[in-house]
Amino acid sequence: MHQVLFIYYMTANLNQAHIFRFLSLCFAYPNKGFIKNLEHKLQDIEGDQTELLTLIKLFKAEDLETLQGEYTRLFITGYPKTPCPPYESVQLEGRIMGKAADAVEKIYKEWGMRVEPGILDHISTELEFCAFLLSASTLEEDTALDAQEAYDAFKQNHLCVWLPEFLKKLHANTNFQVYRQLAALLQQVVC
């Protein structure tokens, strides 16, 4: 029975990892290959894909240049202030590369990961790290337990600390249905 339960959780965690990777890609700059990358990642996800397909459909409905403009305004250089900087440090401390970035970098290093300094606590990086931990939780039992504990702690101590407020800002500061849908889905999946 223990082995059957372990296999069930391995499968569920691996699928959850694919979902986190998909969501991470949603926060990439929307270039010409953006939709193709989302569609490719979607192929790895088992089960009900309705909400993810809706996101792709909404991204496709936007003109690429218009989507790039909204992405830039929301996440990079909005005037007079960027409404939704996608960084834990900015959300919690009001500055980039703060204590939160140092804390996540330390955790990444514990797991043998190196991340570019400017994106340590970017939402995409944190979601990708969660995907990594969820994938690692499908390995042999000792590694699986360590990875599951690390995932639970990272989610509780990082993502779920700053993500809810970030998602509220995202929902309030965009008229693009795709980003509102993304905010709602991320809130549901992560915290």
Q: What is the pLDDT of residues 27-52, one digit of tens each?
A: 999 999 999 999 999 999 999 999 99
Res 80: pLDDT: 82
In 3D space, the residue among 160, 99, 95 whose CA is nearest the CA of residue 127 turns out to be 160
Does residue 134 carry a pLDDT above 60? yes
Computed over every residue of the chain, the mean pLDDT equals 92
Give the pTM.
0.92
Looking at residue 3, what is its pLDDT? 43
Range 162-165, long-range pairs (CB < 8 A, 24+ positions): 162/88, 162/91, 162/92, 162/100, 163/123, 163/187, 163/190, 163/191, 164/191, 165/91
What pLDDT digit, counting tens, does each position of 60-79 carry? 999 999 999 999 999 999 77
Spans of all domains in the chain: 2-190
Q: Is the predicted pLDDT of residue 13 greater than 70, yes or no?
A: yes
Would the pLDDT of 152 be above 80?
yes
Q: Is the pLDDT of residue 6 over 80?
A: no
Give tens-digit pLDDT for 92-121: 999 999 999 999 999 999 999 999 989 999
User: How large is the average pLDDT for residues 138-143?
Assistant: 86
The CATH fold assigned to 2-190 is TorD-like (1.10.3480)
Indicate if the pLDDT at residue 4 is higher than 70.
no
